[in-house]
Amino acid sequence: MKTIIITGAGTGLGKELSLLLAKQGYHTVLIGRSEAALNEVKQQIEQDEGHASILSLDIRNPEDIKEKMLVLNKHHHLYGLINNAGIGCFGPFSQAMDQEVEDTFSTNVLGTIHMTKAVLPYLENNEEGLVLNIISTAGLRGKKHEAIYSASKFAIRGFTESLQKEYEGSNITFIAAYMGGMDTPFWEGSNHVENPAKFRSPQEVAKLILEQLDQDTIIIESKTKG
């Protein structure tokens, strides 16, 4: 059974992608820091007779990533990686705290790069694979009070586009997905957007993404302005 690793699989878009991929017959490896959230998703998948395992991992820790991917590869046929885990950082740039800047880049940028670096050799060995990077429309154009978040997402855009060129003609596909606002826990504790409930649901966005996996670039604009 082909295995797809999904980071940030306990909530929001990562959870919905995991549920749908399990329904499509993939073994899903659910990654995140909160085991309770991952366990709930695993149970939901198994109730629908799908296959899932959970891996508690902080993607800011490259050594732990390497060790855990090594073990994972011993037990599963690694086929896909979805770099979905990400955090927000919003507000006037002059007020951003150093720690927020560090956390945003170590999660959104370095986390994605280290996960890809750790998994790619196994995909190469299997001579096929899929790496789907969940970016944001903030990776297509800058937005007010999103300087740091947008910079982190532009970085992943460059990372993905470069790997698309590097792996052209191989059986390893890199896909960049840019979406507008989604109604997920991402916005909890933030007043950057007025009403996240107006955004698309993560279920809708997950479905739209999986319908377009034959494309290099997937763009799903926000339903409302943002």
Ligand X SMILES: NC(=O)c1ccc[n+]([C@@H]2O[C@H](COP(=O)([O-])OP(=O)(O)OC[C@H]3O[C@@H](n4cnc5c(N)ncnc54)[C@H](OP(=O)(O)O)[C@@H]3O)[C@@H](O)[C@H]2O)c1
The answer to the question of residue 163 lying near ligand X (CB under 6 A) is no
CA distance 29 to 59: 14
Number of Cβ within 10 Å of residue 185's Cβ equals 13
Closest to ligand X by CB, 26 vs 187, is 187
- The answer to whether residue 184 forms part of the interface with ligand X (CB under 6 A) is yes
Burial of 115-137, coded b for 16+ CB within 10 Å and e otherwise, reads bbebbbebbeeeeebbbbbbbbb
Point out which residues pair with 200 in neighbouring strands: 182
Strand partners, 82: 6, 132
* Residue located via tokens 């606002």: 181
Provide, rounded to whole angstroms, the least separation between the CB of residue 60 and ligand X: 5
Does 181 interact with ligand X (rule: CB under 6 A)? yes
* 14 counts as binding ligand X under rule CB under 6 A: yes
As measured in angstroms, the least distance from the Cβ of 213 to ligand X is: 17
Please tell me what DSSP assigns to residue 182. Answer: B
Query: Least distance (Å) from ligand X to the CB of residue 98?
Result: 18
Query: Shortest gap between Cβ of 93 and ligand X (angstroms)?
Result: 18
For residue 89, the SS3 value is coil
59 binds ligand X (CB under 6 A): yes
Residue 86 engages ligand X in binding (rule: CB under 6 A): yes
Residue 119 touching ligand X (CB under 6 A): no
Considering only 30, 37, 81, 132, the residue that binds ligand X (CB under 6 A) is: 37
CA 38 centroid distance within chain: 15
Interface residue list for ligand X (CB under 6 A): 7-8, 10-14, 32-34, 37, 58-60, 84-87, 107, 111, 134, 136, 179, 181-182, 184-186, 199, 202
